Homo-oligomer: A and B are copies of this chain.
C-alpha cells in the first residue's frame, strides 16, 4: 500500500515539476474539456512536445483523454493532487509556527519601544493582527501557473 502510494506520489510530483505541464493544467482548470490543438495553441512548444507532456500528465492520472471521431478531448483530473497536498500537509506546522512567532515578535516589539509611554499598547495588537493575516494564501500569487 505504501509502495503503491510512493509510486503515485513520484508520478504526481514529477508531472508537476515542469512549468509547461503546470501551465497545461492551469489552462484546463477553467474548461470542461479542450481539444489537443486548442489546448496547445497558446504554447510556444511543438505539438509533439505537448503530446509528450500530456502523456506524463495522463500517467500521473492528472488528465483524461477521450477520442470522439477525429478529436481528442482533454479533461483535468485534479483529485490525485489531493495526495500530494496531504503529503505536504505534514510539514505545514513549520511555516505556520514561524508566522505565529513572527506575529508574537511584532506584538511584543512596539511595547519594548514605548516603555516610557505604557498607555500606547493599542498599535501593537493591530500590528500583530496584520502579521497574522499574512498566513492566508495570496489568491493572485496562487493563480500564477
What residues of chain A have their CB less than 8 Å away from a CB belonging to chain B? 2, 5-6, 9-10, 13-14, 16-19, 22, 25-26, 29, 76, 78-79, 81-82, 84-92, 94-95, 98, 137-138, 141-145
Contacts and interface: CB of A to CB of B under 8 A. Distances in A.
Contacts of A89: 85, 137, 142
As for how many copies of this chain the complex holds, the number is 2
A91 B81 contact: yes
A28 to B, nearest CB: 10
Nearest to A5: B144
A122 to B, nearest CB: 31
B14 A19 contact: no
A98 B143 CA distance: 21
A17 B14 contact: yes
Given A10-B18, A13-B13, A14-B17, A84 B88 contact: yes
